[in-house]
Amino acid sequence: MSAQIFEMVAKRVLKDTARKNINSKDPYFEEVAVYGRDGRATGRVKKQKKGIPRILSQHDGKVLKKVRRQAYRLDMSLFNCCGIRFGWSSVIGIVPFVGDVVDLLLAYRVVTSCCSVEGGLPESLRYRMYFNILLDFGIGLIPFVGDVADAVFRANTRNAWLLEEYLIKKAETEARLRQEKEHPNAYRSVLADMEDQNGEPEPKKSFWSSWFGGKETSHDGQHTQEAGVAGADQDKSRPATYSGHITTS
């Protein structure tokens, strides 16, 4: 069972690795355009701390902010060399084995912070985060080259983005369920409209509606009366025919 879980988590991690920019985006800062007094863009940008999505609860927002800060310090906070950002994780990992163990403990601390969100993290997501830091630890054991690869892989940044993605989806789901609970009739009408648009069969017409040319009976009986008159006129114009035996009681 554990082997199957490990294989499943490994596939998800490799899929995350293939996703564009999952480990290259700064988890803590973002660049925003600078505008002049006339409201026009100056072509310059400035760095500022990323905002917390408003949909998150106050507690989860604080946890996300803390994880972002930890990931930034470990993966990107020190310097840039050849287009690669280095943080304390890469510098600590230079010390053979001992540095890699310390780096692993610091990365584990980040995952522990992630698990402190309301309701905790799903088991599958925790396994993905653990796999990230273990893979990062294995890469870092390779002298020098492993430290550079460690700076490129950025397990802590990956885990920070995984946490943010999970929290946003969870908050959106909770908001939708809360809205369905508060306004059940509105939600049912939306579902009904969606079913009609998807080509659901129309309700069958009544017998009288099909017999009298699609006119259904209204409350005042006007449609039924008009249909009856039309049917009588048609009967008068038809020749009388004998259709069978007549029985009397």
Q: Which whole number is the average pLDDT over 109-117?
A: 96
pLDDT at 24: 64
Q: Which whole number is the average pLDDT over 99-109?
A: 94
Please give the Cα distance from 60 to 179 (Å, whole number). 20
Q: Which whole number is the average pLDDT over 5-10?
A: 53
Phi and psi, residue 85, nearest 5°: -85, 135
Task: Collapse the DSSP code of 49 into the 3-class scheme (helix H, G, I; strand E, B; otherwise coil) and give the result.
Answer: strand
pLDDT at 59: 96
90: pLDDT strictly greater than 80: yes
CB neighbours of residue 60 within 10 Å: 23
Least confident of 17-26, 42-51, 63-72, 95-104: 17-26
Name the band, by pLDDT with cuts 50, 70 and 90, for residue 193.
Answer: low
Residue type for position 130: Y
Q: Token pair 């940008």 is at which residue?
A: 45
Residue type for position 108: Y
Least confident of 48-62, 67-81, 177-191, 200-214: 200-214
127: pLDDT strictly greater than 60: yes
114: pLDDT strictly greater than 50: yes
Please give the Cα distance from 103 to 188 (Å, whole number). 52
Are 132 and 23 contacting, i.e. CB atoms less than 8 angstroms apart? no
Question: To the nearest 10°, the Cα dihedral for 236, 242, 244, 245?
Answer: 100
